[in-house]
Amino acid sequence: MSKPQYLSKSDFQLATSCVQKLVYKKKKYNSSNDTDEYMMMLAQGGYIVGKMATMLYPEGIEVAGSTTESLLKTKEYIQNHDSITLFEPTFEFNQRLSRIDIFVKNGNNIQLIEVKSASSDSTNPNKDSTKLKKYIQDISFQYTILKDVFPDCEITCLLLMPDKSMRTSIDGLAGWFRLIDKSISQDEEYEVPNEIITRETSKFQKPKVEFVFDNHPNRKEYIDRLRNEGILNYLDVTDKAKVHESSIRAKSELYIKILNNGLETSAEDFQISKSCKSCEYHVSGDFNSGFFECWKSAKEFPSIFDLYYGGTVGSNKYLNELIINGKYEFIDIQTEQLCKNDGSIGTRNVRQLIQYENTIANQEWISDNMKQELDSWKYPLHFVDFETYTGAMPFHKGMRPFELIAFQWSCHTIDAPGAQPRHEEFIYTDTEFPNFKFAESLMNHIGMTGTPLMWATHENTVLRTIYYQMDEYGYQNPELKDWLQKTIKDKDLGTEGRLIDMNAFTLNHYFHPEMKGKTSIKKVLPAIWNNNQFLHEIPYFQKYSIKDLEDQVLDPYDTLFNLANTKMRELDEEKEIQSQDVKGGTGAMRAFYRIRFDNSITKEHKEELKHRLLEYCKLDTMAMVIIWFYWKHTSELSN
Ligand code: SF4
């Protein structure tokens, strides 16, 4: 007999975004989220929060095992106990399946507790209403099942989340938990946390979380301290969950019908649209992916999706109109449409038109006043990049959940026209709160002269956060306070700051067809680097100039990644740890966490991670130098 097809909470969420995704998930199609680092990071933060939440219930019993085993065990526990607390029990009713984080039953009163790793704010519980809406839908789905299973019980629905208004009194709280990356075999029906709902569960490896004081003689004292911290906050959403009950039931019925009978492609609720742009069933390079099954007549990923802010054109309707008419190519876009409702040309439209005209002509574009703007940047030029950490569990005494930690900066400085870039860096992986040391070292390096440059606005946000943290932590350094005040752009202070955003500069002054609708440094660098051989001859850029066997120039990020990863993979394999790279902000956060708290890896391993962090941050600022150098050179030639 074949296994029953269940509709789980994560299936419900996926089907709500597109019912076809539910079909693909059940068919186990490849999903691009399988390897999404950011989702993994969220999940890992979630597992630690999940473990901490269970520690608030010392009487709780974990219901482990596959869905079938868990269903049986849950039934047994409920039959034999009038009052009980269970972790991850499984309930089923008419093909709807629910694995609840924490289930507390006292006679006829039930608490349904959903643990979420995202932050809440007990001083303003309804602040992030979009996120909350999603969570309420989740808990409402669980509520309908419990209501059917326990018709005579009163059910309270609670969200349990880190409270970002609370400060921890524990130094190194995040280190009280340890993630074990080794995979744990799971059956395909295992419910995964909501943050990773679209990941194929059969491929997903659930890390185990250990409480490091589990075998400590004072274990109880440690647990009591955790319980008294109040870092996790309850939010009663019972009334809200009840409001959604009827719509959740109606949708569940529809989705179960699809699970049982498949999808009728004529159904109104399944239509290709502009939302497909971010579909997880588009797997780069795979023409047999779910995406191309939906987009039958598309030979490649539709180039209309490349348009800068394309989804917003024509009151957000234009792309869908093109799609309905079978027009998927960039050339199908009509430039008359690239305007505001009143016919005027807005800032985004300007960029869209630049992109359109120069993509069709297959040519680079440089603004008429690029040279003038570049010439206005005062030397020394400081190209800076930061690496930061924000996680559910605070690292330091006095910190709040999701409070920012700034642990690394890199800066390439060009002192004067024609000078070689000079590199300085800072990294702090020791046990103290690093933010003030971080800012002081940057202040000592940059001072008040010249032009600090960043890519996008993160660096300004970080320095702004540190400025306000000085008051919150009572940190005294008038010189630093003054420097931060003069450096940051801040509405409340009424300051414009000194930092120049090269991303914004790109939007106004530069386009290359290979960038398509993007202006991130990871898109701008290859477009310039791959098309300008002369840059490879510049002595201080040569290190990053590597070609593959077909004489194709490699992206410097890939070059660095491949070199560094060989060493890391060896170290990871020795420990049977999933190899994870440092590439990108999330990879850097993960590496920082491992250096600080993962005692299962060797000192050598940590040193290697640190080395990689330094190399990647250094490459980011060198990439900024390469781009600036090219702009300077080219704008001078064209004048
Ligand atoms: S490509 Fe579009 S229609 Fe197909 S599954 Fe993805 S979002 Fe749904």
- 267 within domain boundaries: no
Say whether 214 sits in a helix, a strand or coil: coil
Q: Report whether pLDDT(374) > 50.
A: yes
CB-ligand 1 contact for 292 (6 Å cutoff)? no
Report residue 553's pLDDT band, with 50, 70 and 90 as the boundaries: confident
Write the secondary structure of 125-179 as one string of H (helix), E (strand) and C (coil).
CCCCHHHHHHHHHHHHHHHHHHHHHCCCCEEEEEEEEEECCCCCCCCCHHHHEEE
- 535 within domain boundaries: yes
- Which atom from ligand 1 is nearest to the alpha carbon of 280? 6
Q: Report whether pLDDT(551) > 80.
A: no
Report the candidate in 73, 98, 61 with the shortest Cα–Cα distance to residue 194: 98
- Find the 17 Cα to ligand 1 centroid distance in Å: 9
CB-ligand 1 contact for 29 (6 Å cutoff)? no
Average pLDDT of 490-504? 96
Q: Whose CA is nearest to atom 7 of ligand 1?
A: 276
d(CA 598, CA 535): 41
Q: What is the pTM of this model?
A: 0.88
Half-sphere exposure of 124 (CA within 13 A, CB side): 6
- 432 within domain boundaries: yes
- 271 within domain boundaries: no
Kindly report which listed range (226-230, 245-249, 431-435) carries the lowest average pLDDT score.
226-230
In this prediction, residue 204 carries a pLDDT of 45
481-490 per-position pLDDT tens digit: 999 999 999 9
Residues 543 and 482 in one domain: no
Mutate to test the pocket of ligand 1, among 275, 284, 294, 295 (most ligand atoms within 8 A of CB): 294
Q: Report whether pLDDT(377) > 60.
A: yes
Any alpha helices (H) in 367-501, and if so which ranges?
A: 370-375, 435-446, 458-472, 478-487
- Which atom from ligand 1 is nearest to the alpha carbon of 291? 1
Residues 106 and 214 in one domain: yes
Answer yes or no: are the C-beta atoms of 462 and 390 closer than 8 Å.
no
CB within 8 Å of 371: residues ≥ 6 apart: 635, 636, 638, 639
Say whether 482 sits in a helix, a strand or coil: helix
Q: Report whether pLDDT(429) > 60.
A: yes
Q: Report whether pLDDT(379) > 50.
A: yes
Q: Whose CA is nearest to atom 4 of ligand 1?
A: 294
Kindly report which listed range (121-125, 202-206, 249-253) carries the lowest average pLDDT score.
202-206
Q: In the chain, how many domains are there? A: 4
**Cα separations (Å) of 434 from 423, 499, 615?**
21, 22, 20
Residue 126 pairs in a beta bridge with none
CB-ligand 1 contact for 623 (6 Å cutoff)? no
Report residue 265's pLDDT band, with 50, 70 and 90 as the boundaries: low
250: tokens are 């109606």
Residues 380 and 449 in one domain: yes
In this prediction, residue 185 carries a pLDDT of 38
CB-ligand 1 contact for 132 (6 Å cutoff)? no
Report residue 32's pLDDT band, with 50, 70 and 90 as the boundaries: confident
Average pLDDT of 423-434? 95
Report residue 599's pLDDT band, with 50, 70 and 90 as the boundaries: confident
163-220 per-position pLDDT tens digit: 989 999 999 888 898 877 544 333 433 444 433 333 333 344 567 788 999 999 999 9
Residues 340 and 402 in one domain: no
Mutate to test the pocket of ligand 1, among 11, 16, 20, 297 (most ligand atoms within 8 A of CB): 20
Average pLDDT of 29-53? 70
- Find the 518 Cα to ligand 1 centroid distance in Å: 23
- Find the 354 Cα to ligand 1 centroid distance in Å: 30
CB-ligand 1 contact for 275 (6 Å cutoff)? yes
Domain ends where: 342, 360, 378?
360
In this prediction, residue 78 carries a pLDDT of 97
Q: Which helix (H) or strand (E) is 67 found in, with range?
A: helix 67-80
Answer yes or no: are the C-beta atoms of 513 and 359 closer than 8 Å.
yes
Say whether 634 sits in a helix, a strand or coil: helix
Q: Report whether pLDDT(568) > 60.
A: no
Q: Report whether pLDDT(442) > 90.
A: yes
CB within 8 Å of 337: residues ≥ 6 apart: 313, 314, 318
Report residue 346's pLDDT band, with 50, 70 and 90 as the boundaries: very high
In this prediction, residue 321 carries a pLDDT of 96
- 278 within domain boundaries: no
Report the candidate in 169, 171, 143, 173 with the shortest Cα–Cα distance to residue 157: 143
- 507 within domain boundaries: no
Report the candidate in 585, 308, 344 with the shortest Cα–Cα distance to residue 456: 585
**Domain that residue 599 falls in:** 514-637
468: tokens are 């306000």
- Find the 196 Cα to ligand 1 centroid distance in Å: 18
Report residue 267's pLDDT band, with 50, 70 and 90 as the boundaries: low
Average pLDDT of 307-313? 97
Mutate to test the pocket of ligand 1, among 11, 16, 18 (most ligand atoms within 8 A of CB): 18
- Find the 272 Cα to ligand 1 centroid distance in Å: 6
Residues 323 and 356 in one domain: yes
In this prediction, residue 361 carries a pLDDT of 97
- 282 within domain boundaries: no
Report residue 71's pLDDT band, with 50, 70 and 90 as the boundaries: very high
d(CA 307, CA 309): 6
Residues 30 and 141 in one domain: yes
Average pLDDT of 121-126? 72
8-19 per-position pLDDT tens digit: 999 999 999 999
Other CB atoms within a 10 A radius of the CB of residue 587 amount to 21
Residues 543 and 494 in one domain: no
In this prediction, residue 199 carries a pLDDT of 32
Answer yes or no: are the C-beta atoms of 193 and 114 closer than 8 Å.
no
Residues 116 and 231 in one domain: yes
Average pLDDT of 302-320? 96
Kindly report which listed range (297-311, 352-366, 557-571, 591-605) carries the lowest average pLDDT score.
557-571
Residues 142 and 175 in one domain: yes
Report residue 571's pLDDT band, with 50, 70 and 90 as the boundaries: low
In this prediction, residue 415 carries a pLDDT of 97
Residues 200 and 101 in one domain: yes
Residues 53 and 98 in one domain: yes
Answer yes or no: are the C-beta atoms of 384 and 621 closer than 8 Å.
yes
Residues 392 and 471 in one domain: yes
Average pLDDT for the chain: 88
Report residue 375's pLDDT band, with 50, 70 and 90 as the boundaries: very high
604: tokens are 């050598």
383: tokens are 């190209």
- Which atom from ligand 1 is nearest to the alpha carbon of 275? 7
In this prediction, residue 329 carries a pLDDT of 95
Any alpha helices (H) in 447-493, and if so which ranges?
A: 458-472, 478-487
In this prediction, residue 41 carries a pLDDT of 55
Average pLDDT of 461-480? 97
DSSP secondary structure code for residue 296 in this structure: T
Domain ends where: 435, 468, 502?
502
- Find the 279 Cα to ligand 1 centroid distance in Å: 6
Domain ends where: 238, 259, 280?
259
Name residue 415's amino acid.
Answer: D
The rounded percent of the chain whose pLDDT value lies above 70 is 88
In this prediction, residue 30 carries a pLDDT of 86
479-502 burial, b for 16+ CB within 10 Å, e for fewer?
Answer: ebbebbeebbbbeeeebebbbbbb
Q: Report whether pLDDT(603) > 50.
A: yes
d(CA 621, CA 386): 10
CB-ligand 1 contact for 21 (6 Å cutoff)? yes
Answer yes or no: are the C-beta atoms of 110 and 156 closer than 8 Å.
yes
State residue 282 phi and psi, 5-degree precision.
-95, 110
In this prediction, residue 257 carries a pLDDT of 92
- 186 within domain boundaries: yes
Report residue 457's pLDDT band, with 50, 70 and 90 as the boundaries: very high
Q: Say if residue 339 is exposed, middle or buried (CB neighbours under 10 Å; 0-12, 13-18, 19+).
A: middle
